[in-house]
Every structure is written in structure tokens, then in C-alpha cells.
A = this chain, B = another copy of it.
Amino acid sequence: MGRSSNARARLIEIAGQLFQRQGYHASGLNQILGESGAPKGSFYYHFPDGKEQLAEASVRAAGEAVERIIEKAFGRARSFGSGAERFGALLADWFEESGFAAGCPVTSVLLETTPQSAPLLAACRAVFDAWIGHVEVHASRLDEGARARELALGLIMAMEGAWLLARAQRSTAPFRLAARLRPA
């Protein structure tokens, strides 16, 4: 990678971290530029449409990061339950490493920009759909096929809710309960 694509990756990384900790609107372009060390010209070279375009890239990158966590959790799982438990533990570790401060990388952007921004709504929705789809593939392999979609949707939903409660309670316990929630 040349310097140019490093600058792009760095901008996406810093923006993602700031959105997770303080939300989309509170993370101004000046702070993103300051913390990433990118000059304004470089920013507009990579993101000619501005902060909304950077947020779209950041949501997609966050989506891929969680997809890797899903693969790590379920890749060698022998049951849906053990995969779900590992998924919850990995999210709990990520949250704890942030000092109980970082929320889901997609949620903040979603709540502050939807439905006002069509591109960001589409990006957030695509990321949630991809997570559900990845979990569903593993659920199909590990459980009865007919329940796979509901198991996947239920697990992603529960983890998103757990991330909110974890932040309010400054605790990782919600992730462990979320891993055990199943459709009755």
C-alpha cells in the first residue's frame, strides 16, 4: 500500500473510533483530521463528498470487523450455543478493552442519521443484513435449517441490545446473557 491508501485507512479507523465513543455529530471533521494526522486536501481527495462518505466507509469497515469476529466465533463451533457464547465473549473483550466506552460501530451512525441520510441508512442496513446472513450460514450448518434465520436475527438483535445495556451498566455481563437468548 502506498502512502495514499494508508491515509485513507487511517481516516476510516479514527472516524470509526470517534463515532463509537462519542457519536456521529459530535465527531467533527477537524477532530477527525487532527487525530488521524491527515491534511484536509488528502481527506477531500479520498472522500470528495465529505464526512457522510467517510462515515459510509467507516460503517462498512466496522461491518467487516464484526464479520471476522463472527467467523472466529462460529468457524469451528460444534453447536450454535457454543458459537453464540464465543461471539458474546469476543464482543465483551472488545468492549472491555475500550474501557467500557465504545458502542457498536454501526449503531451510533444509524441512530443519528436515519432516515435523513439515504446512503448511510443503506450502509447500516447492509451491514446488519450481512451479520445476520453470516450467523445464519453457521446456524444452518449447526442447527435445524428451518430455525436458522430466526436464530441469526435473534442473536444479532440480542447482542445489539446487550451492547447498549453494557454501556449503561459499564459491565460485560449483558453479552453473556445475550448469547443465551433463543426464540421460544
Q: Which residues of A contact B (CB under 8 A)?
A: 22-26, 81, 100-101, 103, 107-108, 110-112, 114-116, 121, 124-125, 128, 150, 153-154, 156-162, 164-165, 167-170, 174, 177-178, 180-184
Determine how many copies of this chain the complex contains: 2
Residues of B within 8 A of A111 (CB): 23, 103, 107-108, 111, 164, 167
Residues of B within 8 A of A157 (CB): 158, 161-162, 164-165, 174, 177-178, 181
10 CB < 8 A contacts A-B: A22-B112, A22-B116, A23-B25, A150-B177, A153-B165, A153-B177, A154-B181, A157-B165, A177-B183, A182-B184
